[in-house]
Amino acid sequence: MSAEIIDGKAIGAKVREEVGRDVAAFTERTGHKPGLATILVGDDPASEVYVASKRRTAGELGIESFHHALPADVASEEVEALIERLNTDDSVSGILCQLPVPDHLDGVHLTGLIDARKDVDGLTPLSAGYLALGREGLRPCTPAGCMVLLAEAGVDLSGKHAVVIGRSNLFGKPMAQLLLAANATVTIAHSRTADLPAVCREADVLVAAVGRDRMVKADWVRPGATVIDVGINRSDDGLHGDVDFDAVAEVAGAITPVPGGVGPMTIAMLMRNTLQAAEMIAREGAVA
């Protein structure tokens, strides 16, 4: 194995430690803690685990946690009313509506109701617009975490060719925007891309986010390229990413593992976003 392993677990711990110090300083300066409100509709086991982890991390870092568990058959109007209340609650810095929601609800619609200043997932239309225009705002956690991983790995993106496999609103598009803002030349590849392996071989930085187990093979990767694997796929032989790790690690210059790569960064960046939201709201209040 020749590639440097980009240790997301260690880097995520470093981010959380920095956020914890900054949260303590914010609390001392303002007299109140940042607050994260989580909304969980139904009893999806995976979602319950994710939300519990987010709430636990918030508590460890000194962020107030406000949890709202709603029944699976809750009316959309009730969830909408809750979001509106949280939008105007001064103790709440960030709001997270855990996805997916039950089929009778529209997750995109509900997320879009969150005040952009409190949109710690960075997924509202206004947040997406701020990102596209390069204006200050809250960025989606997983793409933002990937940018931190690249920085910690010492990757200078300016002038480099980055290829993102995947065009989702949740990851692919914001990832491409963040890379572009860092002066990379960006290609978004997807299921309709002609000769996908050849496109990937052009990348100095290859980011895979398609949800297909070990799809990216060694001959898709330029020797020495940096590979960021966002996929998490469960199979009979364990947990794997979208990249054939063992084979690609023989070719790449640096690579993230699965697990222990991108995953730990997402919650760390959520905590950073919650603090950033609190800072922005406090600043606006001071101006007013």
| Active-site choice (7, 33, 98, 204) | 98
| Active-site choice (7, 33, 54, 173) | 54
Residue 43 falls in the annotated catalytic set: no
Residue 121 falls in the annotated catalytic set: yes
Over the chain, what HEC string results? CCCEECCHHHHHHHHHHHHHHHHHHHHHHHCCCCEEEEEEECCCHHHHHHHHHHHHHHHHCCCEEEEEEECCCCCHHHHHHHHHHHHCCCCCCEEEECCCCCCCCCHHHHHHCCCHHHECCCCCHHHHHHHHHCCCCCCCHHHHHHHHHHHHCCCCCCCCEEEEECCCCCCHHHHHHHHHHCCCEEEEECCCCCCHHHHHHCCCEEEECCCCCCCECHHHCCCCCEEEECCCEEECCEEECCECHHHHCCCCCEECCCCCCCHHHHHHHHHHHHHHHHHHHHHHHHHC
| Active-site choice (7, 22, 119, 121) | 121
Residue 33 falls in the annotated catalytic set: no
Active-site residue list: 54, 98, 121
